[in-house]
């Protein structure tokens, strides 16, 4: 790990890795993390209380470097379910006639009190909202706003399977060692071309304290491309994270990959992208984990031979987190997430 770890913010339940891309432009460091307090923050910030406590994100900045030498592959099933579904939602928020492989869905249309309905709603100021994205007031989406002067504005976590309790948890009894995730991602119509930061984290976390055991963090770099990172907090078979120390050095970077498509430049403003991610935890005791990401059906990255968790097997992959973590822009910049599906087979974009 780079010794320059730590930002001026308080993070008590988890945060996000950052990445400066592979270029010489200014940005955040893939191995940087969130830890130190820079003083008290306003207690009026909207936060969500979990078993790990109440978190209050705040202002910070960072820089640094990192090294990694991942290998790339493409071994996940490339087939997909038929995306056309109708009918009222089932117990997991999915359409009644959705494929049986869909274990959780969130279109945000039924969310009117995010702090009580979403498992983790840790929000500082106006960094997130559930609002109409377009002319139809009933078609809601998750708004994420990069805010001037605020590098980290909190996070929103969707949950499925066995793990931390809070809000609505889909398929609560499942323990999944591999998942496919699909969601739409749209930058605002006035997006100027900017390093977007985190755009999704697929996580295996501990139940009692929301501690991260392993994750794939999907990020954008300074050139508008994807630069996903892989993290672990399992050492000698033991979970070292506790819900408070993840981004103060407990998590360790184990791989990073560079995508080739450009999505977050000014030319992409207002465009809705279909993001798909596949993560498979390694067989306990073997280094055979995988991670892949597609955008609009085209594979951007793939890596295999990953040891996400050594022999640890207490929980599977059970969370998708959206954070507000990027270099602060000069003006507020919005991007939107919608139509989230979690599945045991590839979902596709149709």
Residue-wise pLDDT tens digits, 69-100: 333 344 444 444 444 455 667 888 899 999 99
What is the reported pLDDT for 194? 97
pLDDT digits (tens, 9 = 90+) for 315-348: 999 999 999 999 999 999 999 999 999 999 999 9
| Cα–Cα distance measured from residue 13 to residue 56, given in angstroms and rounded to the nearest whole number | 10
Domain range annotation of the chain: 49-343
What is the reported pLDDT for 13? 35
- Is pLDDT of 175 > 70? yes
| Cα–Cα distance measured from residue 238 to residue 160, given in angstroms and rounded to the nearest whole number | 23
DSSP state of 333: E
- Is pLDDT of 49 > 60? no
Model confidence at 350, pLDDT cuts 50, 70, 90, reads confident
User: For a pLDDT cut of 70, what percent of the chain falls above it?
Assistant: 75
**Does residue 45 or residue 87 have the better pLDDT?**
87
Residue 287, both tokens? 């280094």
| Cα–Cα distance measured from residue 75 to residue 63, given in angstroms and rounded to the nearest whole number | 34
Tell the CATH topology of 49-343: Jelly Rolls (2.60.120)
| Cα–Cα distance measured from residue 274 to residue 279, given in angstroms and rounded to the nearest whole number | 17
What is Dmax (Cα atoms) for the chain? Answer: 53
Q: Residue 249, by phi and psi: left (phi above 0), alpha (psi -120 to 50) or beta?
A: left
Residue 185, both tokens? 């991602």
- Is pLDDT of 27 > 60? no
Model confidence at 300, pLDDT cuts 50, 70, 90, reads very high
Mean pLDDT of the chain: 82
| Span of 87-101, 112-126, 173-187, 290-304 with lowest mean pLDDT | 87-101
- Is pLDDT of 152 > 80? yes
What is the reported pLDDT for 4? 26
Length of the chain equals: 350
- Is pLDDT of 215 > 80? yes
What is the reported pLDDT for 80? 46
- Is pLDDT of 11 > 60? no
What is the reported pLDDT for 28? 38
Model confidence at 150, pLDDT cuts 50, 70, 90, reads very high
For 68-137, the DSSP string reads --------S----------SSB-TTSSBTTS-TTEEEEE-STT-S-HHHHSSEEEE-TTSEEEEE-SS-T
Instruction: Give the residue-averaged pLDDT of 178-201.
Output: 97
Model confidence at 195, pLDDT cuts 50, 70, 90, reads very high
CB 253 within 8 A of CB 66: yes
Instruction: Give the residue-averaged pLDDT of 260-284.
Output: 98
């Amino acid at each position: 790990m780079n010794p320059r770890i730590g930002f001026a913010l308080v993070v008590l339940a988890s945060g996000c890795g950052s990445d400066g891309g592979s270029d010489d432009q200014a940005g955040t460091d893939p191995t940087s993390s969130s830890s130190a307090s820079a003083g008290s923050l306003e207690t009026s910030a909207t936060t969500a209380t979990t078993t790990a406590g109440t978190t209050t994100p705040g202002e910070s900045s960072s820089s640094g470097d990192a090294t990694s030498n991942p290998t790339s592959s493409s071994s996940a099933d490339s087939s997909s379910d038929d995306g056309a579904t109708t009918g009222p939602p089932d117990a997991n928020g999915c359409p009644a006639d959705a494929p049986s492989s869909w274990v959780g869905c969130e279109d945000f249309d039924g969310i009117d009190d995010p702090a009580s309905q979403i498992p983790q709603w840790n929000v500082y100021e106006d960094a997130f909202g559930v609002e109409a994205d377009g002319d139809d007031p009933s078609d809601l989406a998750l708004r994420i706003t990069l805010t001037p002067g605020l590098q980290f504005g909190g996070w929103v976590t969707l949950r499925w399977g066995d793990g931390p309790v809070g809000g609505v948890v889909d398929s609560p009894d499942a323990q999944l060692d591999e998942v496919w995730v699909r969601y739409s991602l749209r930058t605002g119509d006035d997006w100027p071309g900017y390093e977007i930061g985190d755009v999704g984290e697929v996580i295996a976390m501990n139940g009692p304290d929301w501690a991260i055991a392993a994750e794939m963090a999907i990020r954008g770099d300074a050139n508008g491309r994807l630069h996903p990172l892989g993290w672990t907090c399992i050492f000698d078979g033991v979970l070292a994270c506790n819900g408070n120390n993840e981004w103060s050095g407990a998590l360790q970077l184990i791989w990073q990959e560079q995508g080739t498509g450009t999505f977050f430049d000014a030319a992409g403003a207002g465009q809705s992208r279909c993001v798909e991610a596949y993560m498979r935890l390694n067989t306990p005791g073997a280094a055979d984990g995988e991670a892949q990401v597609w955008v609009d059906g085209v594979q951007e990255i793939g890596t295999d031979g990953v040891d996400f968790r050594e022999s640890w097997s207490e929980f599977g992959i059970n969370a998708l987190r959206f954070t507000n973590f990027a270099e602060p822009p000069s003006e507020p910049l919005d991007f939107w997430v919608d139509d989230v599906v979690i599945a045991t087979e590839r979902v596709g974009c149709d």
